[in-house]
Structures are given as C-alpha cells and as structure tokens.
Structure 1
C-alpha cells in the first residue's frame, strides 16, 4: 500500500499539475452541461487581456493629438507640452503657453517686450 501512495505523491508533485487539473475541471464541466460557466470564464479572461491593450492604444492616440513639440522663444531650448495649456521652460523658467502647435511667452497685455542693444559694443567694433 505504501508503494501506491508514493506513486500518488509523485503524480501530485508533477510541475504542471495545476494546469492539468484546470483542464480536467473544464472538461468535466463541459460534459456535465455547465458549459456556460466555462464560456463565461473564457469571456472574462479575454476581456481582462484585451482591455489593457485597447486602453494603451487610446492613450497613445490621445498623446499624439495633444502633445506639442517646439522650442522656447526665450532661450531656444527644446520643449514638449500639452496643447492650450501653460507650461514652464525647464532651462530658463519662463512661463509659456502653447497655441497653434507653437510655444509663446505668457506675458500680460500691458507689458512691452524690448530687446536690449548695447551701443558701446557696436561703436568699438565700427571704429576698429
């Protein structure tokens, strides 16, 4: 009797016994007429594997249509941001807003933007 018991133990220690047991359970349920349970489990398993792929594809599509790539108008470093949202340049810290797939400075209406030209450097270059 001990040799028969040791054979049962060796069968139970089989590496894929869980898969075999699951397969036998599905087969038994199919034979009994409870195939709707098996079909339900297969549908749930299919949904669980397909939904993350669909979510990933939708997220990639959304990113493709809502990301803006461009350069900072102040320091000319490369930037990435979302459409119609405020963002900051990581290089110079300027507040920017993306409009028409380009980055623009976000300055108040009453501010006058002026470029400084050093006349002393120009005079010394011309006189030399």
Structure 2
C-alpha cells in the first residue's frame, strides 16, 4: 500500500498527510509522509537559531527542512533525499545532485561539525573509523 499507513486500532489503511516544505532558494517540495525527528540549536557567534525537521516520504525517500533565523532575516531551505543502493540524490526542487551514500555521510559529518577521530579519542576508542549510516 504505497502512501498508506495502517491505523493500529482498526487495521484500516489511513492516508499519510501531505507535507509541504517551503524554501527560499527553490520551489516548495510537497509529498505524502510523516515527520520523524526535529532538532534545533543556537549559534552564539552568529546569533542564529537553526531548526531542522526530518521527514520520511511515503515512497521511502527522506526530506529535510532547515530554517535559520537571526535578528535580520529568516532563511528556509528544503531538500529531498532519495536512495538507490550505494547511490543517493539530493534535490531542492530546482537542482538535483547525485552522489554516493558514503560521500553524503562525509558531507553531513562536515556540516554538523562531527570529528569522529576526536570523538573516539575522547572516549578512549582506538577502533578504525567507519562512516555512519544515514
């Protein structure tokens, strides 16, 4: 049942809500799906609040909405991420980029400021680095 979930109490299929992610850098991205995670953080140096919402589309793709807000402006960005084996595509609705899943993991780590070697050293772990799965 593509695009449907089953209501636990009745067992009847229930349509997933339509989600629209607005973007200031491209067209809105619309899909049936659910939000499964959200986070926010404040950057003191930039005086900016950033919120991230993660979604799973009914077709199995993922999407992320990122909103950054500071004293003078708000910037909304939205991306859809599709996976096919070891390859993935990122799309903001105007531009689509294909890359390996391992490269996407490296980019996410860099954007999030994750230094796996530093984390392992702080935890006393000397095992070889493995890229985390998305």
TM-score where L is the length of structure 2: 0.22
**Greater relative contact order (CA < 8 Å, ≥ 6 in sequence):** 2
Greater strand share, structure number: 2
